[in-house]
Amino acid sequence: QKEVEQDPGPLSVPEGAIVSLNCTYSNSAFQYFMWYRQYSRKGPELLMYTYSSGNKEDGRFTAQVDKSSKYISLFIRDSQPSDSATYLCAMRVSNDYKLSFGAGTTVTVRA
Amino acid sequence: DADVTQTPRNRITKTGKRIMLECSQTKGHDRMYWYRQDPGLGLRLIYYSFDVKDINKGEISDGYSVSRQAQAKFSLSLESAIPNQTALYFCATSERGLSEQFFGPGTRLTVL
C-alpha cells in the first residue's frame, strides 16, 4: 500500500464549477501538507501549504486537513480553464525534509 | 530567466548508454534534489544534496549517480541506461530548514 493515495482521475468539469480533490495517507506522523500544481510540460509549483489540521483559504483555493481521518482536500471555487493541470498532494513529518507525494489528479476545466 | 533550469529538456537514448542530466539554480539554495515522475506513481526521490560535500541516496537510487559540482549545480547520471528508466526527471531546490521545494521544468528521458 502506498503511503499517500490520490485518485488520478482524470476529472473534467465545466467552467465555474467547484473542483474537489483529495488524498488519504497512512503515516499519522505527517504534520505538513502541501498541494502542488503542475501544468503540462512544466515542473510542479507550490499552491497551498498547511500545518496540522484545519482549513486554509487563498483566493479561490481552500485546503483542508483532517488528521483524525488521515484525509486532506483541495477545493477550487469558480474554476477557470487556466486551472486545468495536474494537482499533486505532498506531505512530510515535522523533523524531516523528505516529501511523500500522491500520484496526482489531472483536472480539465471546460470553457 | 528561470530560477531552476534543466538540460536537456528531452532526450532519447539507447539501452546501455551513459546519460547525464544537468540542473542549475540561481536561487542561492543549499539543498538540491533529483526526482523521477512516472504515471500513477507520483514523484519519487532519487538523490539529494544538502551542500557541496553532502550527498545522500533517496528511495530509488539504484542505477543512478550524482555530482554536486558547485552550490548551484547538481547533475544526475545514468551509467548504463535501461528502458525502465524512461520517465520525467525533475530537479528541485530548497532553502535550509524550509520544506518548500522549487522545481525545474523537467527532462523527458526515453530509453529505447
Q: What is the pLDDT of residues A72-91, one digit of tens each?
A: 999 999 999 999 999 999 99
What is the torsion angle, in degrees rounded to the nearest 10, for the CA atoms of residue B70, residue A34, residue A25 and residue A3? Answer: -10
B99–A43 C-beta distance less than 8 A: no
The pLDDT, as a whole number, for residue B39 is 85
The pLDDT, as a whole number, for residue A25 is 97
B100–A46 C-beta distance less than 8 A: yes
Average confidence (pLDDT) over A36-64: 93
DSSP notation for A41-76: TS--EEEEEEESSEEEEETTEEEEEETTTTEEEEEE
B10-13 and B107-111: which strand pairing? Answer: parallel
A52 pLDDT band, cuts 50/70/90, is: confident
Mean pLDDT by runs of 10 across the 112 residues of chain B is: 89 96 95 93 92 93 95 96 97 83 95 96
The pLDDT, as a whole number, for residue B99 is 67
A97 pLDDT band, cuts 50/70/90, is: confident
**Grid cell digits, residue A22:** 483529495
The pLDDT, as a whole number, for residue B98 is 65
The pLDDT, as a whole number, for residue B32 is 95
pLDDT of A95 above 80: no
Nearest CA in chain A to B33: A98
Nearest CA in chain A to B91: A43
Residues in chain B within 8 Å Cβ distance of A45: 102-103
Alpha-carbon gap: B14 to the closest alpha carbon of chain A (Å)? 23
The pLDDT, as a whole number, for residue A19 is 97
